[in-house]
Structure 1
């Protein structure tokens, strides 16, 4: 298929792009534009409604996490933003429909709370669930966060407590049961199979990769064929979705300021 020239940066401020994003149906968010000229999006209403983002340092994974989470928030979702780096998602602080947590103790407590919310939602009728806001669980540096959570639990658990961290167990349950509860997970990183109890490609319907090794590609997106040649173009990723070939894509760029202005003052067309 013929490739087309893409801009070096696909900015939220590109002509007509914001309008196209705002016209997307609920549960759908733009990842970016493919080199064949097509919009590449994620649909959380699909069969496997979670997203995995994995790139080498500087590959844009935090940017992708931010832009996807922001789009779902704009559609009325609520979000639990977990960032063990603490400074990666400062845009999330202070927004009324966002809970932001940045240290291991607060991330642990937030995920335990998520387990309770997931259990509650699974008891709702279809009508009650349809009226509940979608809940996005957006975790940055997932591999590091999951290791921190495991160590934290080992430090504080009593001898009669389960060996597995209840926070990790709640996240795993959200991945398996989230579709039935309007709970969707966006992870940035390479969660170890031993942490979540399944191969990543079994849990994530959309996998966004950039600058990863051939072995990492095979582990995270084995259904998408051999690993393509990595691109050094900032924001250039490959999007693998079940049943489709991987699409080389220029990811949407939204700054912290773009997100905050868009979510707090949606009538400001200059954001």
Structure 2
């Protein structure tokens, strides 16, 4: 079999490069650039094609926060709104500066935000597809596995007799995963979804899976269609993106906090 030629990529794919920014700004609505593959191909995610959510799974320090920030920022630029759940409280401080973003860090705030999401999901579904004037909603969840465990414990502290056993916040997230397409609600999930928490078929809702610093077992569970686990790169910002057409080793776009805020508050500022 003929091997695909490899392309020499820059050590960092910075949003500050004017040609890259122009490429991002020219993308159609609902599409965001993840990065450039080692074959020179632009690797993007289209929220209106296939499953409407994105799964990011890396070991600690693997760059998942960078991916969430970059993708969320691109959809915000297109007119979306966002709910950013930041259990570390400091990973997404950029989100606090933007009027179309709700940033929540403590467990109580995350719980209440997801319960409100359940109401918003019902409202959107009631519109029965008449959503042209309703902004797309991005739900970005950093450290999702930790967040879900904290939500479960939080619910147990005040659950009363007759209340459901499962946290309503976790139920709201699961409902958003299953009904997101119809409601223009999209989840960017940083973690490894467990069947015991979100249901046995939740993995099927993620058409794009972005992996770095993964084990062979993680690859086998989250990217079964892509064959054996590939050799990993230690290069900063390098990921494997798994989509319907296979796995692509990709250098991800880097957007700093300052670049995101400047771009979204002053989109005409080409120096941001």
Q: TM-score, normalised on structure 2?
A: 0.97
The equivalent residue for 1:53 is 56
Q: Secondary structure at the match of 1:122?
A: helix
The equivalent residue for 1:250 is 251
CA offset at residue 79 of structure 1? 0.1
* Structure 2 residue runs without a partner (length 5+): none
Counterpart of 1:241 (choices 237, 240, 243) is 243
Quote the Cα distance in structure 2 between the aligned partners of 1:218 and 1:226: 7
Counterpart of 1:33 (choices 36, 54, 66) is 36
Quote the Cα distance in structure 1 between the aligned partners of 2:56 and 2:254: 15
What is the 5 A alignment of 1:61-140? Answer: 61-127=64-130, 129-140=131-142
Give CA-to-partner distance per residue, 1:146-182, whole Å, 9 cap, x none: 0000111111110110001100000000000000000
Aligned-residue Cα RMSD (Å) equals: 0.9
Q: Is the counterpart of residue 44 in structure 1 residue 47 in structure 2?
A: yes
Give CA-to-partner distance per residue, 1:173-222, whole Å, 9 cap, x none: 00000000000000111122211103453120100000100001111111
Q: Secondary structure at the match of 1:112?
A: helix
Q: Secondary structure at the match of 1:117?
A: helix
The equivalent residue for 1:173 is 175
2:193–2:203 contact (8 Å) kept in structure 1: no
Give CA-to-partner distance per residue, 1:96-131, whole Å, 9 cap, x none: 10000001000000000000000000011433x121
Quote the Cα distance in structure 2 between the aligned partners of 1:168 and 1:145: 10
Give CA-to-partner distance per residue, 1:56-97, whole Å, 9 cap, x none: 122111000000000000000000000101000000003110
2:24–2:32 contact (8 Å) kept in structure 1: yes
Q: Secondary structure at the match of 1:126?
A: coil
1:200–1:219 contact (8 Å) kept in structure 2: no
What is the 5 A alignment of 1:4-43? Answer: 4-43=7-46
Quote the Cα distance in structure 1 between the aligned partners of 2:213 and 2:188: 19
What is the 5 A alignment of 1:93-242? Answer: 93-127=96-130, 129-242=131-244
Moved more, 49-58 or 95-104: 49-58
The equivalent residue for 1:260 is 261
* Structure 1 residue runs without a partner (length 5+): none
Number of residue pairs the alignment of both structures matches: 269
Structure 1 runs of 4+ off > 2 angstroms?
198-201
CA offset at residue 231 of structure 1? 1.1
1:201–1:222 contact (8 Å) kept in structure 2: no
Quote the Cα distance in structure 2 between the aligned partners of 1:138 and 1:270: 27
Moved more, 49-58 or 65-74: 49-58
Q: TM-score, normalised on structure 1?
A: 0.97
